[in-house]
Structure 1
Amino acid sequence: METADSFFTIKTSSEIEIKIKGSKFFGRARECESVEDAEKIIADFRKKYYDATHNCFAYRVGIGKEMKFRYSDDGEPSGTAGRPIYDQIEGKSLTSLIVIVTRYFGGVKLGTGGLTHAYSDAAARAIDAAGVVEKYITESISMKMQFSDYNLVERIIHQFGAKVIESDFSDIVRLTVELRLSLIDKLRENLVDSTSGRIKFEQGS
């Protein structure tokens, strides 16, 4: 389940192909972090697959109140392409991705029901091929301490799953670590208690 600092998205890019009554449907999933990223991917795909009959898509970015999405039938009958693609994204509670289904018409009309099924299936297969992973929103925190507290602090940082991204060992020890947003306050409190207040945090951390 999505929390304040975690979300589910695809592991990697993917491409699948299905054929229905002569028409070819290529489903492709890509990661994207913003509306701008998604729109650029759409523009690139339209340029690359300019000869396609349709390039239908759906994307969703952000989490919570910041979530944004868009989908398009790109000339297919209303509601038969973009929405079915988006329903696959929404149904799996995913974000930070775009799924584009490119169709090359094969001469036989599929009808609205057939189109809806085709686009939904292509999107589902593209997502399955890409895989799903949980990711976390992280933040960095900087601190300074005496050498005598370093081993203790390092152990606590490790327990919280934080990653050291900067370190400086001069007259005192300075560390900048990165960890899940929801754990920042807990880590800070734990470090203060464990060092009896000797550890100090840099401004803004």
Structure 2
Amino acid sequence: MAESYRTIRSEIKGFYKEKGSKFISLAYHVDSLDQVKSRLEALRKEYHDARHHCYAYVIRGGLQEQIRANDDGEPNHSAGDPILGQIRSFELTNVLIVVVRYFGGTKLGVSGLIQAYKTAAEEALSQANVEVVEIKEDFKVEYGYDKTSEVMRIVNDFGVEIKNQEYLEICTLYGRIDPERFGALKDKLSLAQVIARKL
């Protein structure tokens, strides 16, 4: 059975207000740290007059997870961790949540902030359409043009999802497969004197 994870696909917006402070929560699907960085840059421009842009994300690359929570000037662990807690509570991966805060003039205290950031993140995620994604292994195969039909027959037999193909002097096929099937695919291709490499 292939491993899988839960994620969201569409952008979601939530809103929470407490003692005059406004908390705008924005949830996104992300596949890389570059996507996180570009989302944060765009939001800092869009909400340039906000006091805080607190966030958390969980990104899975292969079987490894990258996790981060950022308080962006709020007291330690009062913003990023509650946001991350909601990502965990909804059991989501490859998700970034940013909560933008407009200060309303009344301090909420650490416990008030924790509750506000948690609720704002929950407001966004409670609207999410969750999708289950199977974890796949990305790989590439390089081969001579004369091996094309043999390589295609093997990858079709293994149910490979073909992402891209290049037909040059050396042909290249980029594909995805269930991780537990990669070893057998590699063995079969090596019998055809073709090498498959993980990306």
TM-score, normalised to structure 2, is: 0.71
Deviation at 1:57, TM superposition (A): 0.8
Deviation at 1:175, TM superposition (A): 10
1:16-46 CA distance string (max 9 Å, x none): 2122233221110122223333233223322
Q: Which segments of 5 or more consecutive residues in structure 2 lack a partner in the other structure?
A: none
> CA–CA distance in 1 between the matches of 2:122 and 2:67?
17
After superposition, residues 99-118 of structure 1 pair within 5 angstroms as 99-118=97-116
1:38 aligns to what? 36
1:60 aligns to what? 58
Query: Matched residue pairs, number?
Result: 188
Helix, strand or coil at the partner of 1:79 = coil
After superposition, residues 4-153 of structure 1 pair within 5 angstroms as 6-63=4-61, 66-133=64-131, 134-137=133-136, 138-140=138-140, 144=147
Query: Could you say which structure has the larger radius of gyration?
Result: 1
1:111-152 CA distance string (max 9 Å, x none): 3222211111211232333432224334355784769xx8x8
> CA–CA distance in 1 between the matches of 2:177 and 2:116?
39
Larger mean CA deviation between 39-48 and 76-85 belongs to: 39-48
> CA–CA distance in 1 between the matches of 2:118 and 2:48?
22
> CA–CA distance in 2 between the matches of 1:15 and 1:2?
32
Helix, strand or coil at the partner of 1:129 = coil
> CA–CA distance in 2 between the matches of 1:87 and 1:109?
23
2:195 aligns to what? 203
* Contact residue 80 and residue 112 of structure 1 kept, 8 A: yes
Deviation at 1:84, TM superposition (A): 0.4
> CA–CA distance in 2 between the matches of 1:176 and 1:2?
22
* Contact residue 55 and residue 101 of structure 1 kept, 8 A: yes
Coordinate RMSD, CA, aligned: 3.6
1:171 aligns to what? none
> CA–CA distance in 1 between the matches of 2:163 and 2:53?
43
* Contact residue 32 and residue 38 of structure 1 kept, 8 A: yes
| Percentage identity across paired residues of the two chains | 30
Task: Tell me the amino acid that sits aligned with residue 203 of structure 1.
Answer: I
Deviation at 1:154, TM superposition (A): 8.6
Q: Which segments of 5 or more consecutive residues in structure 1 lack a partner in the other structure?
A: 169-173
Closer, same or farther: CA 156–18 of 1 in aligned 2, 3 Å: same
